[in-house]
Chains A and B, each alone.
Chain A
């Protein structure tokens, strides 16, 4: 399939990369990969233990794929207490910051040491997305993600600094207050998750606000973290009166690594491209269950390698993220590999609720801790106000002799425990026996209505 030529003006940030041919870009990537592997083997004890000695003289991409093993989250979680000795390049620059992964996976939080250069580099890749989306130096940007020790919030600062933007970090404030600030500061762009954007739209509608009038300066909304339908994207763009630009990234890969270009997340009714920063990282997209690279148009697991991180680069990290490699080149003509916008998801069916990752097996563990419980069904949906809501319908065993008050107290305690351990508040109700589904094989207790399309948007626009 060949799409018609791009009629939008290209916003080239860095001609030294964007105007390379595909073979030139791959040659650059290989040179940087070889240098990074040799350096890591020489300077980082963690890799000297993990890798064969041939890594010290690595000479090609092919050899890299032969001798460098994959890494998983579990591999990185083990031995973190020795991080500053074991996982910092030496000789090397001073570690100035430690960013953590979000911890909402339920598997544990990784800590990643960063030098000043590592922090600086976080802003470099963001420049591509910001410029491609039409932002200019000095434009105002509002950021809605929470700020703590996790990289999702901390990375916003070097990103904003690089664009010399008037930056408003709204993460700690309520949704209502964030809406107030959007109206007060009138940013040229804001950064938000797709589901939260739907919630923000509901706030604006409740107040009778039209963004075309209230925020006419808005150029773009940057989104990440969840999949979405083409219909949802088009309705959102129509409501807000601007384009959407998506990014894909993760701490282990060096942060943000794939971006929408000028064509956006929906291009002529089809899903857009997210272009990989292949001069700074290696993206391998592999078939699940094998280590074979996918063909263009196929889905596979993203396996990422950082080519530029100084303190502790991560190699061949198995993300568990399902991505689709685009079948054809983007109309923008850039040489980078690209993945499909709007369809990045996790293989393990993890659900993201109000910004928190919720794993079904983590809920199972807490629900079935009591022998009085027989089964449950989980439902995630958008309530009439556009808020992400999760509900458990729970059945007690027939032989459970608890009275009504005891059962009510148990459900309240369970809801508190789930919130304390998983950071998600679930509404839990008792339902009659045998009213939730039973399964013979591969039980799937959860239904996520958001994945069937954004019904809230459909009914309110």
Chain B
């Protein structure tokens, strides 16, 4: 399994603050999925 090559860490934390929150949440959830080194958002 090869790691995703562009590990996004874009992660918005900008946090109409509300948009930064929304972007950060989307990116954090994505990183939880595609970065198996990520244990801890």
Q: What residues make up the interface of A, taking CB atoms closer than 8 Å to B?
A: 14-17, 19-21, 24, 28, 31-32, 34-35, 39, 93, 115-117, 120-121, 124, 279-280, 308, 310
Within the complex, what minimum Cβ distance (angstroms) separates A154 from chain B? 17
By the criterion CB–CB under 8 Å, are B25 and A16 in contact?
no
Taking CB atoms, residues of chain B closer than 8 Å to A116 are 21-22, 25
Taking a contact as CB atoms under 8 Å apart, the answer to whether B1 and A16 are in contact is yes
> Whole-angstrom distance between the alpha carbons of A308 and B35 in the complex?
14
Residues of B at under 8 Å CB distance from A?
A: 1-4, 21-22, 25-26, 28-29, 32-36, 39-41
Alpha-carbon separation in the docked complex, A117 to B22 (Å): 9
Q: What separation, in Å, do the CA atoms of A124 and B3 have in the docked complex?
A: 19
Determine if B33 and A15 form an interchain contact, defined as CB atoms under 8 angstroms apart: no
Q: Are A20 and B1 in contact (CB under 8 A)?
A: yes
Can you list 15 A-B contacts (CB < 8 A)? Answer: A14-B33, A16-B33, A17-B34, A19-B1, A24-B1, A28-B39, A35-B39, A39-B40, A115-B25, A116-B22, A116-B25, A117-B25, A120-B26, A279-B33, A279-B36
Supposing A16-B34, A19-B1, A116-B22 touch, asked if A124 and B29 sit within 8 A by C-beta, the answer is: yes
A16-B4 in contact (CB<8A): yes
B22 contacts across to A, CB distance below 8 A? 116
B36 lies within 8 A of A121 (CB): no
Given contacts A24-B1, A116-B25, A310-B41, 16 further A-B contacts (CB under 8 A): A14-B33, A15-B1, A16-B3, A16-B4, A16-B33, A16-B34, A16-B36, A17-B33, A17-B36, A32-B39, A115-B25, A116-B21, A117-B28, A117-B41, A120-B25, A120-B29
User: B2 — which chain A residues lie within 8 A by C-beta?
Assistant: 15
CB distance from A414 to the nearest CB of B (A): 49
Which of chain B's residues has its CB closest to A20's CB?
Answer: B1
Question: Do B28 and A34 touch (CB < 8 A)?
Answer: no
Inter-chain CA distance A28–B1, complex, in Å, is 13
Check if A14 sits within 8 Å of B34, measured CB to CB.
yes
Q: Give the residue name and chain of the B residue nearest to A310 (CB).
A: B41
Rounded to whole angstroms, the CA-CA distance of A19 and B36 in the bound complex is 11
* Contact between A16 and B35, CB atoms less than 8 A apart: yes
Q: Return chain A residues, CB-CB under 8 Å to B3.
A: 16
Q: How many angstroms from the CA of A38 to the CA of B39 in the assembled complex?
A: 11
Closest Cβ–Cβ distance, residue A257 to chain B (whole Å) = 14
A residues within 8 A CB of B21? 93, 116
